[in-house]
């Protein structure tokens, strides 16, 4: 378990005089029992059971709650990873009562639980612990009622003052909810072990200013150590494995720099369109929805320096350093190095599909991008001069998230006589769907000639370990309940990521309208995207 820094706004805060610092330290120790000093805890990390807790799920009637959050809670319960004294207070506006809401989740679990079928006995004991609280998030009365419910839960269900607030509401409600929680004092940690934590879904702001504003609003009420900003990519098995892969193996790290790496490509491809979330997507677009968070998080994990410890803050310090080193894009860079696109009707997986502008909830003249590709540079000793090509889009030919490290060519082409063009060595980290790692290198084709051909060495998670790894939401929920912030983004990280994205969005707002749509659904994005690596004499990997 790791505590964040005492300051609410991360490490850039003015230093405290020693007396204040000492008092703050004492205050911190009083607030939360430091369980790591209990010698019986040593070595129990994996077996640790979260404290009794009331989980308050705002937006419990929504899509995310039904598809991800509640199935993750159910699965944790099923694996006996939630304490028996757990209460789930589900909040929404719709007129349910406890029993009708439970029926509703049951339907959701039958559709979305990771392990099917839903186990009746587990379900019964889980459902008993779920209650519904109806109320408008804008109304004071809702929070007074919530405070009363939580007190009752401590009294009747042994939840001991521990609370996890989970914000699965539209982003516009984040700040008001936080303020209200502060108003009724639900943020305050009390002595004797009651902790309070808040999980905030994406999007965290829609630009640098709004992210800063939201951070400020949150910091008025919660300390940074209580705040868990979700980027669910960080809960995925391969992303976590990326750290292990880089820092637990000796053979890759020496190559992990500008001397050996030619360039890096990160792709987050989706084959789906905007589904029924057209209205939401209209305001968001690929840059805000994926580039600002998932792609930049992956970039940070690939490019960061090894942290000194695996402590949440040490890790996040390193990620922030890399994000800060990303070269800011000037207007001219945006025009040259960033390409956006929007899909037209086309065919995906053998089915005809509509164009973006025809989707429900979308403006027929929409200028929202459903695709973005960008070339970024990182100005530090490790990466100076190595381009990072990032791309993401909807309605691409397949769903695939991959990071590829493409190595430089050998300094001297010894096997020039080879009939096939040697391809550079490559290391690909597949994040979904088939999580795994592939190493491509040259080998001699059997025969009397010296013919070099690229061969693949492929490690698949499915072929070695778990076919059935936990869902990212299970991992993250459990971490939040255990107080481990490592896989959550810190306030300054979010702001740095917005700083990188800002000039892109600004240039588009200021520039002429795009010629949309410009790629057919089921293709790899607009033709112009090929020029992003193409200008440097490189090309996108075939995925």
Ligand X SMILES: NC(=O)c1ccc[n+]([C@@H]2O[C@H](COP(=O)([O-])OP(=O)(O)OC[C@H]3O[C@@H](n4cnc5c(N)ncnc54)[C@H](OP(=O)(O)O)[C@@H]3O)[C@@H](O)[C@H]2O)c1
Q: Where does this chain touch another protein (CB under 8 A) — which range of 42-50, 106-114, 165-173, 439-447?
A: 42-50
Is 112 one of the catalytic residues? no
- Pick from ligand X, another protein, none: which does 512 bind, CB < 5 to 8 A by kind? none
β 163-167/130-134 pair status: unpaired
Interface with another protein, residue 250, by CB under 8 A:
no
The residue with its CB nearest to ligand X is: 62
Applying CB under 6 A, which of residues 12, 45, 94, 535 lies at the interface with ligand X? 94
Helix (H) or strand (E) holding 120: helix 120-127
Applying CB under 8 A, which of residues 450, 466, 527, 539 lies at the interface with another protein? 466
DSSP assignment string, 330-374: PHHHHHHHEEEE-EESEEETTEEE--GGGSTT--TT----SEEEE
User: What is the crossing angle of helices 120-127 and 98-112, to 10°?
Assistant: 140
DSSP 540: P
Q: Where does this chain touch ligand X (CB under 6 A) — which range of 73-81, 107-115, 201-209, 380-388?
A: 201-209
Strands (E), 243-399: 261-269, 338-341, 343-344, 346-348, 351-353, 371-376, 388-393
Q: Where does this chain touch ligand X (CB under 6 A) — which range of 86-94, 102-110, 325-333, 409-417?
A: 86-94
Interface with another protein, residue 49, by CB under 8 A:
yes
Interface with ligand X, residue 202, by CB under 6 A:
yes
Q: Where does this chain touch another protein (CB under 8 A) — which range of 140-148, 355-363, 421-429, 459-467?
A: 459-467
Interface with another protein, residue 100, by CB under 8 A:
no
Applying CB under 6 A, which of residues 110, 128, 138, 360 lies at the interface with ligand X? 138
Task: Identify residues 149-168 at the interface with ligand X (CB under 6 A).
Answer: 168
Applying CB under 8 A, which of residues 11, 397, 460, 514 lies at the interface with another protein? 460
Interface with another protein, residue 103, by CB under 8 A:
no
CB of 146 to ligand X, least distance (A): 12
Instruction: Give yes or no for a contact between 428 and 540, defined as CB atoms under 8 angstroms apart.
Output: no
What does the H/E/C string look like for 8-21?
CCHHHCCCCCHHHH
Interface with ligand X, residue 399, by CB under 6 A:
no
Number of alpha helices (DSSP H) and beta strands (DSSP E) in the chain: 17, 18
- Output the furthest CA–CA distance in the chain (Å, rounded): 84
CB of 236 to another protein, least distance (A): 17
Helix (H) or strand (E) holding 174: helix 174-183
Instruction: Give yes or no for a contact between 469 and 237, defined as CB atoms under 8 angstroms apart.
Output: yes
Q: Where does this chain touch ligand X (CB under 6 A) — which range of 43-51, 61-69, 257-265, 312-320?
A: 61-69
Instruction: Give yes or no for a contact between 165 and 199, defined as CB atoms under 8 angstroms apart.
Output: yes
Interface with another protein, residue 462, by CB under 8 A:
yes
Task: Identify residues 173-192 at the interface with ligand X (CB under 6 A).
Answer: 173
CB of 402 to ligand X, least distance (A): 21
Helix (H) or strand (E) holding 472: helix 472-482
- Angstrom distances, CA of residue 253 to CA of 257, 264, 308, 433, 440: 8, 15, 15, 26, 17
Distance between CA atoms of 535 and 451, rounded to whole angstroms? 30
Interface with another protein, residue 42, by CB under 8 A:
yes
Catalytic residues: 294
Q: Which residues bind another protein (CB under 8 A)?
A: 33, 35, 37-44, 47-49, 52, 79-80, 82-85, 158, 193, 433-434, 458, 460, 462-468
């Amino acid at each position: 378990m790791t505590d964040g820094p005492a300051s609410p706004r991360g490490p850039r805060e003015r230093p405290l005089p020693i007396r204040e610092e000492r008092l703050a330290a004492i205050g911190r120790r009083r607030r939360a029992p430091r369980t790591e000093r209990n010698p019986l805890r040593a070595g129990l990390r994996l077996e640790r059971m979260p404290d009794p807790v009331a989980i308050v799920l705002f937006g419990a009637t929504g899509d995310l709650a039904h598809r991800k959050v509640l199935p993750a809670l159910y699965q944790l319960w099923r694996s006996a990873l939630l304490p028996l004294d757990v209460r789930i207070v589900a909040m929404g506006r719709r007129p349910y009562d406890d029993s009708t809401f439970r029926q509703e989740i049951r339907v959701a679990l039958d559709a979305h639980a990771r392990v099917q079928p839903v186990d009746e006995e587990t379900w019964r004991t889980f459902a008993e612990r779920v209650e519904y609280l109806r109320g408008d998030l804008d109304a004071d009365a809702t929070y007074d009622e919530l405070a009363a419910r939580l007190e009752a839960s401590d009294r009747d269900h042994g939840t001991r003052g521990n609370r996890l607030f989970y914000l699965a509401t539209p982003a516009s409600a984040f700040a008001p909810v936080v303020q209200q929680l502060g108003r009724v004092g639900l943020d305050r940690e009390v002595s004797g072990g009651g902790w309070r934590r808040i999980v905030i879904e994406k999007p965290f702001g829609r630009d640098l200013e709004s992210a800063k504003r939201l951070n400020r609003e949150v910091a008025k009420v919660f300390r940074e150590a209580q705040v868990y900003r979700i980027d669910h990519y960080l809960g995925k098995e391969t992303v976590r494995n990326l750290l292990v892969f880089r820092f637990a193996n000796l053979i890759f790290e020496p190559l992990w720099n500008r001397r050996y790496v030619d360039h890096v490509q990160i792709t987050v491809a989706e084959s789906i369109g905007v589904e029924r979330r057209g209205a939401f997507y209209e305001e968001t677009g690929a840059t805000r929805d994926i580039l600002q968070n998932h792609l930049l998080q992956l970039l940070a994990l690939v490019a960061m320096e090894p942290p000194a410890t695996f402590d949440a803050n040490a890790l996040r310090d390193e990620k922030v350093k890399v994000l800060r080193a990303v070269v800011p894009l000037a207007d001219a860079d945006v025009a040259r190095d960033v390409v956006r696109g929007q899909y037209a009707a086309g065919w995906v997986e053998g089915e005809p599909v509509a164009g973006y502008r025809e989707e429900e909830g979308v403006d027929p003249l929409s200028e929202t991008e459903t695709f973005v590709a960008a070339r970024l540079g990182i100005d530090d000793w490790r990466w100076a001069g190595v381009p990072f090509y990032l791309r993401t889009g909807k309605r691409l030919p397949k769903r695939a998230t991959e990071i590829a490290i493409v190595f430089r060519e050998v300094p001297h082409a010894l096997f020039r006589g080879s009939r096939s063009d040697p391809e550079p060595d490559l290391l690909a980290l597949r994040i979904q769907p088939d999580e795994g790692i592939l190493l491509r290198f040259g080998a001699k084709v059997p025969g009397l000639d010296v013919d070099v051909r690229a061969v693949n060495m492929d490690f698949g998670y499915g072929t070695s370990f778990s076919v059935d790894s936990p869902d990212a939401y299970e991992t993250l929920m459990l971490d939040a309940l255990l107080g481990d912030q490592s896989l959550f983004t810190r306030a300054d990280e979010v702001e740095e990521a917005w700083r990188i994205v800002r000039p892109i969005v600004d240039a588009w707002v200021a520039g002429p309208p795009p010629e949309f749509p410009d790629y057919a659904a089921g293709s790899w994005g607009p033709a112009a995207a090929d020029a992003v690596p193409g200008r440097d004499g490189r090309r996108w990997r075939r995925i």
